[in-house]
Amino acid sequence: MSTRVVIIGGGFAGINMALELANHRAFEVILVDKNNYNFFPPLLYQVATGFLEPSSISYPFRKLFRGKRNVKFRLGELQRIDQENNEVLLNNGILPYDKLIIATGAHTNFFGMENVKKNAIAMKTVDDAIGMRNRLLQQMEKASISNDPDEIKKRLTIVIAGGGPTGVELSGIFAELRNGIMRKEYPELVGKGSEIFLVDGGEALLSPMSVASQQDTLRDLKELGVNILLKSRVQDFKDDRVYLKDGRIIETKTLIWAAGVTAFRFEGISDTSYGRSNRLLVDATNLVAETNNIYAVGDACLQLTDENYSFGHPQVAQVAIQQAKNLVKNLERSLNNKPLIPFRYIDKGSMAIIGKMKAVVDLPKPKWHLDGVTAWLAWLFIHLFALISYRNRAKTFYNWMIAYLTNDQSLRMIIKPIHSENDEQQMEPESERESEA
């Protein structure tokens, strides 16, 4: 009989495991996800800013698995794990397993700040990206009909918390939108005080990258007109004010939160199996501590056995992909009673795009740093071919070429599944609804 492998989560790790196990007669694979599609997180910010449509970075699971007889998809959300009976309880039923793979990734960490959680915009899902696009476009439309200079400035000012790749990329694209498209389509708002603030608690942006990349990023963002606030943290967001830990206050209606993530916790797994940021402790083969047939990969796990990463691996896509492929090899080897292969992460480099013709790339071997046009082209090429299907690549390439040649794009539509006035008000922070009441 085939081994039933249940994979929870269809991100980088989960999708790679399912595809690697496809058409393998020894395994029956069931991938469970709360969405019926896979999406490409590194390009979410381009959906949020209207440069790409959601379908450019998304692909339905069932279409992806079409023709793969041993791989099935189930729409559902994990509620509890029953280790004694080897079953998972989903929100829509019970699913038995022989091997359980937790590949649920991570979600936004607001560090206990309830006002920030309630009023800020996160950037982890397609829903978040569409919500951000709606919010930003609504703010510009409302600013265009306002006669209050202070109100206009608050609607046009954007604060981004987190100086990692997401924060840097959002800052750069917002600055280019302000300096280009907004001047053409909202001439009445030119000179009305639109500002972009990038806030980070560290001493440099892109802290895991090289000093050269950090310096190039700081210089390029400043040239684009972004206000960089380092060694500073967001402490609160209420009444249209972002409060920083150093006492500064920024008046705005838009705070974008890209400052941290935490993994999920699941009922049925002992508290002692979790490490920092709720990441599941795993051994060198990704087996979860205190279990015998439950594995965790990617952002969901904390692996301390890799001698080059004794504090755990970075929560990036390459770790998830490499762990998934190594785990597949070990599942195959276990069928033949072969020794298992301990995971060793191979760093293939890191990169971030800042704007048109502006990017930074660090390559570990040989130790190279690239910036400017060369890095920008490398970023475009790698991200384009990392998309899951030819259809996604073609649509994304087309949209990028249009944006490059015209310095414009035509995806700035406010699309909501709601029409009532009350529902529209729910798109705004609580503080704004109170002030307009």
Distance, CA of 175 to CA of 213 (rounded, Å)? 19
| 143 in Cβ contact with 136 (< 8 Å) | no
Q: Which of 28, 169, 176, 428 is catalytic?
A: 169
Distance, CA of 285 to CA of 291 (rounded, Å)? 13
In the residue annotation, 267 being an active-site residue is answered as: no
| 388 in Cβ contact with 59 (< 8 Å) | yes
Task: Please list, in sequence order, all residues whose beta carbon lies within 8 angstroms of the beta carbon of residue 212, skipping any fewer than 6 positions away.
Answer: 360, 369, 371
What is the DSSP secondary structure assignment for residue 274, as one 8-state letter? B
The pair of three-digit structure tokens given for residue 53, joined into one six-digit string: 């449509």
Q: What is the DSSP string of 9-36?
A: --SHHHHHHHHHHTT-TTEEEEEEESSS
Distance, CA of 185 to CA of 199 (rounded, Å)? 28
Percentages (nearest 5) of helix, strand, coil residues in the chain = 40, 25, 40
Adjacent-strand bridge partners of 106: 263
Active site residues: 169
